[in-house]
Amino acid sequence: ATVRIMNIRPKYRDGISLSPGRYDVMVSADGYRTKRFPLTVKAGTVAVDVELARRSGFSCANTQYYSGGDSISNHGYQLRTETL
């Protein structure tokens, strides 16, 4: 996996020591969905486990909400997704 901490310099490397604080973390790996999340490191934190979901055979390229209502939605919204 590739780990990136978006709000630090120098860039992340395995074994880097982080001071307590809030970090913007991104983890990616071939065949898995990238995960980006805030992480608060407290004094004494040793490790953080991150679980990535496998990519499916398709990805959602665009998601849009439309107002107007139909027989599918009783709230007046439709969800339309476009897949590649």
Instruction: For the chain, give every domain's residue range.
Output: 1-41, 56-84
Q: What is the DSSP letter of 57?
A: S
- Residues 42-72: tens digit of each pLDDT: 888 778 889 998 887 555 555 454 444 444 4
pTM beyond cutoff 0.85: no
Find out whether the peptide bond into 10 is cis, omega within 30 degrees of 0: yes
Other C-beta atoms closer than 10 Å to the C-beta of 52 total 14
Residue type at 13?
R
* 43/21 Cα distance (integer angstroms): 9
Is the model more confident about 82 or about 33?
33
Share of the chain above pLDDT 70, in %: 67
Answer yes or no: is pLDDT of 75 > 50: no
Nearest to 25 by CA among 9, 8, 10, 42: 8
Q: What's the length of the chain?
A: 84
